[in-house]
Every structure is written in C-alpha cells, then in structure tokens.
Chain A
C-alpha cells in the first residue's frame, strides 16, 4: 500500500504537484510524450507495457501504469460490502490485487533497464467518495526528469477510469490490452473488446489496442490519401523510427478504378515519410474490401496503424468507420492515431 501524504490534495494539486516538484522548469513538462498503459495483470497488458517501454526509451516518454478497480458493489456480495473483506486483507498485511499487478509492471520496467537505482520515489493518496481506499499513486522520477507513475484508480467501470485519467493527465498515447481468447465470446472479461472500443471511441488521443503484441515486425501504416490519414502517417512514422521499427505503407482501393488514387496516396505518403528522414521499408497497394484487406495484410506486422476516421456525425453512425471495424476484426494489435 502506498503511503498517504496528507489528505488535503484536491484533484488538481494531486496531479500537478509532482510534475512541478521534479522538473526544474515546469514549462518543460507538458512537452514530454506521455504514455498511459492499462494494467490488469494479464499477459497482454504486460506485453503492451513492454512495447511502451521500447517506445518510451526512444521518445524519452513518461509512462503511467494504471490499474482501475471498480467501486465496490455490495449487492453482489449479499449485502456485505466487498470492502469489509478488503479491509480485512489489509489488516493482515496482504496486498490488494491491483497493487500486486502494478508492482509486477514496475519490476518489468526495471528488468528492461528503463529504471535504475537513481530514481526517486514519492507516494500520493487521494480520497474517493464511497470507497475507503481511494486513488493511490506512486511516482518514480529519474534525475533527468523522466517519470514512471503507478496509479491505482477507483472508478465505476474500467473505461470511465481510463478516460478520467486522461482528463487529468493529458496523454499522447493510451495502450490497453485485448486478448485474443476473449474476442468471439460474450463473456465479460476484464479487458473485453467492448472496453477497448469504448476507450478508442472516446479517448481524445491515440489508442493502441494490444493483441498478441510482438515487438520487431514493423508497423503497417494505412492511408486513404486524406489529410487526417497523412497526419497519422507522419506521427506514426516518427514513432516507428524512434524505436527502429520498419515502416510499411498500405492503401486499399475498392475496385480497379480506384487503384490510381491508392497508388498516388501511397506515393505521397512515402515521399512525406522519406522527407522526414525515415526509410520506408515497403509500399503496398491492395484492391478489395478495405477492412478485410487491411486485416489480412496486417497479420505479418506487429502493429496496424490507422487514422481516426474522417467521417463524422451521422455519416459515421450509419456507415461505421474502417478504423473501428479493423479494430474489431484484426487478429493483432491496432493503433488508432489522433
């Protein structure tokens, strides 16, 4: 259990204070790339963390590990609040599962060499109404100002918790796990695809949904030639180059007539990426149904990268978006760039 450092923290102070404490010029802080990794103790979430560490090493990012615990629901436990059991566990000196998972994540980061002994540790506690344990976080910071944060959050459900975390933290990338074995069934696992989708829909930043995420097979970046897609290409090419992942560009045409457009889109993206000084490993043009083609091509890569759809409002509601369909159907990891 992390120590409490006084009760008087309100939301703003609890979140902002550590940043100012550890950076010489507090103005420098917001420019740091921040990654939020959802941890639930599953292998997927740790694979996501491993990826974050690699990415974080490249772009010198802050990493926040977040475990969301649902608010206790006494009805399920027959009228006795689950917290009575939890308090009893704490009195025995036992760790609650969330803390255990976060510690495991921390150990992983230490093994990967992201952190060493020179890092300082500081704990914060913040009360949450209706829950005795509240939010807890521990911030580890290096002498150079890089931070790793462990956060145990209490929220009505996991998606809300992760999104609330974005509201107070402003992250550039959220990584969440969605394991393959839960996909087709309606069993409500902890990180079910519905959750990943919910976060992907609402998060205002890029979201990476990790499935069987393996580092080293490169990024497959999809473009349809729109401005938005090209922004995404630029952003991810930069990310990929920082962690030495080969970049492959893909555009899909619906039919033969669309092929020249697709070829042009890929060529444009390719010049753009090369002008950033990043090597393009391969460019691909496929013809067919975009979702199907992207998913099939994507199997060989670590990550499929798409831009958030250009469609908005009603159009999106009725026609759906390629990005979210890929997110649903792909077998491997998908990143939606915003």
Chain B
C-alpha cells in the first residue's frame, strides 16, 4: 500500500454517503418502513379481520342479526382497547360510525345516545379534578398529615394512605394522586438525595399514595368513571318509571356510599401492613425530612381567602352530590361545581382545557352507548346465558360462586385495559348474567364496579398507579411484587362484604 490508510472519519463519511445514494438501500429502507407501519398496527387489522369473519357467521340460535352486529362491534372494540394499535378515542369514533353504518341507526339517534348523565358526570368530575389540583392545597394537606402522625415512617405512610383515600373517594383517584405525588417525593428526597439509598422507602411512600387512592375509588360514584358508568347502566336497564318495584335500581350518591364506603375504610390498614411486609424501608423515622418540609411550608404563610373559598365550594359540591343528586342528577352537580370554580376565578379555562383529556369523555360516551345497544338488541342476554351455561357445571351458577366468577373476570379484564372501559364493556353482560341466574343485579353490578378497581398489578391498571409511576422512582416489577397480595386482600374483603354486609342493608 502506497497511500496512508484513510482516517476513521473519512471512512464513516464515505460509507454514509454511499448508503444515502444507494437506490437499493433506499428501496430496502422504504420497504422496511412500510412493514413497520403494518407491524405496529397489526392488531388493528387483526381486529378488523375478526370483525369481518364474525359478521359472515350464521346467526346463532337465540341471537338476532342486530345482536350479532353489536356483539361483533363489542369484540372488535375490546381487542382494540386491550392492544391499542390506534389511539383509544379512535375506537370511540369507530363505534359511532359502526352504529350508523352497520346497525342502520339514524345518525341523530346515535348522537343523542352519546350524552347521558353519567357522561356529563365524568366530564364535570374531570374539570373539577384540574380545578382542585390547581388550588395548591397539597402543602397544607401534607403538613396536616405529619402533624397528626408524627415522624415514624409507618405512621406517616398510614396517614398518607388515609388522607389520600378520604380525598380520593370524593374527588377521584387521579386528582389526589397528582396532588400527593409531590408530597411523597419531597419526603423521599429530603431524606436522601440518592435514589438507591431510599428505594424501599420510595416504594412504601409512593404505593401508600397510589393504593390508598385506588382502594378509595370504590367509595363513592365520584371516585372513578367506572362507578358512574355502572350507575348509568342500572338506571338504563332496569328502571321503569311506571313500576314502583324498579325504583330501587336508581342508586344515588348516598346509597352508593352506604354500600361501598365501609369496604374502603376497612381496607386502609391492610394497605400499609402489606406494603411494610413487602418492602422494608431503609429509614424507620423521617424526622429530618419532616423538619425540612415544615420549613418549606412555613414560607407559604397563612391560608388565603382563595383557599377558603375553594374549600367551601368543594364542601358545597359534596353536599350537592349527597343531598340533591337524586333529583337533578350527579352530572348536573358536577358541572355546576366546575362552573362555580371558573366563576370564582379559582382556575383558568386554559388550565382546565389542557389538563383534561377530552378523548376519555368521548371514549366513555361511545362505550356506554354501545353497552346500551348490547342490552337492547339482546346480545348481552345471549352472551350472559351462554356464559352461565359454562359456569353452572363448575358450581359457579349462583351465589358466592357466581360472584367470585364475575369478580375474577372483571379483575382479569381490568388489568388489561383502562378500568372505565372494562366496566363499560362488561357491565351489560354481567347485569344480564345476574338476571338470568336469579341474582340481584345490584350486587353483581357492585361486584363488577368494585373489582374493576383491583388493577394493582400493572402500571396502566389504575390512574393513580400511572401518575405515581411517572415519578420515576418505581419499577414495573414493583407493581407485581406487591400487587398480587393487594388483589387477594381486596377480593376476599369484597366477597365478605357481599355475603355478610350487603344483605343487612337490604338488596
């Protein structure tokens, strides 16, 4: 060789140039990119193929043609909910299109079926959630907690669970998770700046927030969208204004609390105990962090007038839900509350607009609309009867067996998709199942709504888990390590309540 070897930079540049110019290379890249598109969206095509195949099937005995179409749409929607090849609000749009094109419904009728009191309630609650987070009351709450609990880690975590839970049961778990997350992280970082040294402490504190919120979500209808959906289904399916016997199917805010609130309260201590048994925190005492937290909070000064107004408004909304929601609807109270916060100037519309994901409202509207179609075309009843025929031989045809089966089914589904969507899809089926098996639809409905909160296993299971995971302190495997214990605890607790407590208050 006479020439000196080319330098590394020359070679890389040459190689790169050759590649960019190579027609073959460009073609190969384009082909690869196209394949990637199909690969990314593969479940969309799978879902569409499944839907097409189902529509070609002969109509099974006991099911109408419309029933088959609605059932097909539900199956396709479920596949899309679980695999998410397209953004989820797209599924909502497709449901609307499907109802008009495949079922032959009038466009106006479909549009009308989208908006119900439940949807209004979900929308209003989300706006309220942003308004509440923006009030920055979190520092006061944090100080209140540590003032009562002292500095022992166990007591602080218990306090965090209790307060997160009590708040979350009224204003939704996502709201409280967003408010309490900085509190938790502040306690952790003030203890040690090195995340490795406080791994277990971080897990205990953050899970206290997220599981505290999750178990509270069952407490009231405003705890989560899924509860509102179930309330809507009961009314839609069983309520008949001309028949006084069916009035019991209108579950208002107070009645829901009577059923579910005690269940939440009983679970709180178990959360802290399970967490401390699973993760052993490095620090048994957090006095250093508490002292510094106090210094931070003292800078805030005394409560301002805006803070008191916000609290007063919140109490008003709460009493509105408990007192008058039976007459004017829970949705109306929720949007009245949102309006009040805006009128009082406590929150800017821009914040509300960017803080709420409106796609969720759309998604639940479409899912509920499809659920109602499942019922009215008889598809839900058909699925319920077929399912019951499967359950009866294994002794799960009625009573505790059926409750357990419904609970396991819901827990399974809810760990795979958003829990609101799970209730929207399963609701019509399980309510018909209860009807066919001669069980109370209210008990089975409660079991479904409550079990849908048992998504402790995955990051995406419940909103609180997603938000807490965003802090970056937790691993996905942490959710599995502690989640299964929580699932067992909650399921056992719920079945105990269904068997012992609910009969006492008359179902």
Q: Which residues of A contact B (CB under 8 A)?
A: 31, 33, 41, 59, 74-86, 88-89, 91-92, 94, 96-98, 100-101, 132, 172, 187, 189, 198, 201-202, 204-206, 231, 234-235, 238-239, 242, 275-277, 312-314, 316-317, 338
Selecting from B304-312, B354-362, B378-386, B405-413, the interface stretch reads B354-362
Please give the distance in Å from A292's CB to the nearest CB on chain B: 25
Q: A75 to B467, alpha carbons, bound, how many Å?
A: 11
Given A89-B471, A234-B11, do A78 and B32 touch, yes or no (CB 8 Å)?
no
Please give the distance in Å from B14's CB to the nearest CB on chain A: 8
Task: State whether B27 touches A77 (Cβ < 8 A).
Answer: no
Task: State whether B88 touches A78 (Cβ < 8 A).
Answer: no
Task: State whether A84 touches B19 (Cβ < 8 A).
Answer: no
For B117-144 the 0/1 string (1 means CB < 8 A from A) is: 0000010001001100100101000000
Asked if B472 is at the interface of the complex by the 8 Å CB criterion, the answer is yes
What residues of A have a CB within 8 angstroms of the CB of B472 in the complex?
41, 96-98, 100-101
Q: A85 to B133, alpha carbons, bound, how many Å?
A: 8
Q: A313 to B186, alpha carbons, bound, how many Å?
A: 53
Asked if B252 is at the interface of the complex by the 8 Å CB criterion, the answer is no
Task: State whether A312 touches B174 (Cβ < 8 A).
Answer: no
Chain B residue at smallest Cβ distance from A231: B15
Please give the distance in Å from A129's CB to the nearest CB on chain B: 12
Q: A317 to B173, alpha carbons, bound, how many Å?
A: 47
Selecting from B50-58, B176-184, B338-346, B443-451, the interface stretch reads B176-184
Task: State whether B27 touches A313 (Cβ < 8 A).
Answer: yes
Chain A residue at smallest Cβ distance from B418: A75
For B1-16 the 0/1 string (1 means CB < 8 A from A) is: 1000111110110011
Q: A187 to B177, alpha carbons, bound, how many Å?
A: 25
Across chains A and B, the number of contacting residue pairs, with CB separation under 8 Å, is 159
Task: State whether A235 touches B11 (Cβ < 8 A).
Answer: yes
Task: State whether B172 touches A172 (Cβ < 8 A).
Answer: no
Asked if B420 is at the interface of the complex by the 8 Å CB criterion, the answer is yes
Q: A202 to B32, alpha carbons, bound, how many Å?
A: 9
* 6 A-B residue pairs with CB within 8 Å: A74-B356, A75-B89, A79-B360, A172-B12, A276-B5, A338-B16
Please give the distance in Å from A75's CB to the nearest CB on chain B: 5
Task: State whether A75 touches B8 (Cβ < 8 A).
Answer: no
Please give the distance in Å from A276's CB to the nearest CB on chain B: 4
Given A80-B130, A276-B5, do A88 and B182 touch, yes or no (CB 8 Å)?
yes
Please give the distance in Å from A320's CB to the nearest CB on chain B: 12
Asked if B280 is at the interface of the complex by the 8 Å CB criterion, the answer is no
Asked if B35 is at the interface of the complex by the 8 Å CB criterion, the answer is yes
Chain B residue at smallest Cβ distance from A201: B32
What residues of A have a CB within 8 angstroms of the CB of B463 in the complex?
76-80
Asked if B416 is at the interface of the complex by the 8 Å CB criterion, the answer is no
Given A84-B133, A313-B28, do A275 and B466 touch, yes or no (CB 8 Å)?
no
Q: A81 to B357, alpha carbons, bound, how many Å?
A: 6
Q: A42 to B110, alpha carbons, bound, how many Å?
A: 49
Chain B residue at smallest Cβ distance from A31: B9
What residues of B have a CB within 8 angstroms of the CB of A239 in the complex?
8
Which of A75, A198, A231 gathers most chain B CB within 10 Å? Answer: A75
What residues of A have a CB within 8 angstroms of the CB of B130 in the complex?
80, 84
Q: A201 to B36, alpha carbons, bound, how many Å?
A: 10
Chain B residue at smallest Cβ distance from A94: B185
Chain B residue at smallest Cβ distance from A99: B472
Task: State whether B27 touches A88 (Cβ < 8 A).
Answer: no
Task: State whether B133 touches A59 (Cβ < 8 A).
Answer: no
Q: A78 to B471, alpha carbons, bound, how many Å?
A: 17
Chain B residue at smallest Cβ distance from A84: B355
Which of B6, B20, B35, B181 gathers most chain A CB within 10 Å? Answer: B181
What residues of B have a CB within 8 angstroms of the CB of A204 in the complex?
16, 19-20
What residues of B have a CB within 8 angstroms of the CB of A172 in the complex?
12
Given A76-B466, A77-B466, do A88 and B178 touch, yes or no (CB 8 Å)?
yes
Task: State whether A189 touches B476 (Cβ < 8 A).
Answer: yes
In the A-B complex, the 6 residue pairs with the closest CB atoms: A97-B472, A74-B357, A78-B463, A79-B360, A85-B178, A92-B182
Task: State whether A78 touches B133 (Cβ < 8 A).
Answer: no
Please give the distance in Å from A312's CB to the nearest CB on chain B: 4
